[in-house]
């Protein structure tokens, strides 16, 4: 249970850091609803693709994944 909590907290920390670094568009932070809204009609998806929101979302999610990996590695390292 403690391991899962550690990995979840590192994942959340990675997402927060990723949002702080990559979440700005035109000098302002993009709303979380805009970032994590998947689907919609073709016009909505095209706007997200052209405006760079898809790339921004991918970078933030990669930071979260890196945080999860760091959490797993630290958890296994602490066990020894």
In whole angstroms, what is the distance from residue 61 CA to residue 59 CA?
5
pLDDT at 62: 96
pLDDT of 26 reads 82
Give the pLDDT score at 34. Answer: 79
Give the mean pLDDT per block of 10 residues along the chain (80 residues).
Answer: 87 95 88 77 70 85 95 84
Say what the pLDDT of residue 80 is: 63
Place of tokens 């958890």: 75
pTM of the model: 0.80
pLDDT at 32: 86
DSSP structural state of residue 36: T
């Amino acid at each position: 249970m403690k391991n899962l909590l550690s990995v979840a907290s590192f994942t959340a920390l990675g997402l927060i850091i990723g949002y702080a670094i990559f979440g700005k568009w035109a000098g302002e932070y993009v709303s979380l609803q805009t970032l994590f809204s998947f689907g919609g009609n073709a016009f909505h998806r095209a706007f997200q693709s052209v405006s760079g929101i898809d790339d921004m979302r991918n970078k933030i999610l990669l930071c979260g994944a890196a945080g999860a990996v760091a959490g797993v590695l630290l958890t296994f390292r602490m066990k020894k």
